[in-house]
Amino acid sequence: AQSVAQPEDQVNVAEGNPLTVKCTYSVSGNPYLFWYVQYPNRGLQFLLKYITGDNLVKGSYGFEAEFNKSQTSFHLKKPSALVSDSALYFCAVRVSGSARQLTFGSGTQLTVLP
């Protein structure tokens, strides 16, 4: 079985400050990890993924995430938050080599305050 936990339902940060959205996972096997963003009443947009290699992955809109195998974490980060980053963020996992689709966390609402 595979699962994803996003321990914070809500994260508030001031514009210009760094932001972190937390994600931990559980899988049997090597994980593929993903971050998606969702704006109100819209579908999910892909931000970035970790497959293998460098533990720090960079994605769209200045976001990055760090894979930590020992802590089974994949936290999303951005050095300087923008008000337009305010949205719902989802972490997801899939086992490498598995045909089964992604398992998602429950989501974290990020609010960037001006």
Partner 1 sequence: DGGITQSPKYLFRKEGQNVTLSCEQNLNHDAMYWYRQDPGQGLRLIYYSQIVNDFQKGDIAEGYSVSREKKESFPLTVTSAQKNPTAFYLCASSTPSVRPEAFFGQGTRLTVV
Binding site for partner 1 (CB under 8 A): 9, 32, 34, 36, 41-46, 49, 51, 90, 94, 96, 99-107
Q: Minimal distance in Å, beta carbon 16 to partner 1?
A: 29
CA gap 21, 75 in Å, rounded:
6
Q: Minimal distance in Å, beta carbon 103 to partner 1?
A: 8
Of 6, 30, 11, the residue nearest 104 (C-alpha):
6
Q: Minimal distance in Å, beta carbon 38 to partner 1?
A: 9
- Give the largest CA-CA distance in the chain: 43
Cβ nearer to partner 1, comparing 73 with 103: 103
Q: Are 81 and 75 in contact (CB under 8 A)?
A: no
Q: Minimal distance in Å, beta carbon 15 to partner 1?
A: 26
Of 88, 91, 87, 113, the residue nearest 103 (C-alpha):
91
Cβ nearer to partner 1, comparing 15 with 109: 109
Cβ nearer to partner 1, comparing 82 with 102: 102
Give the type of residue at 58. Answer: K
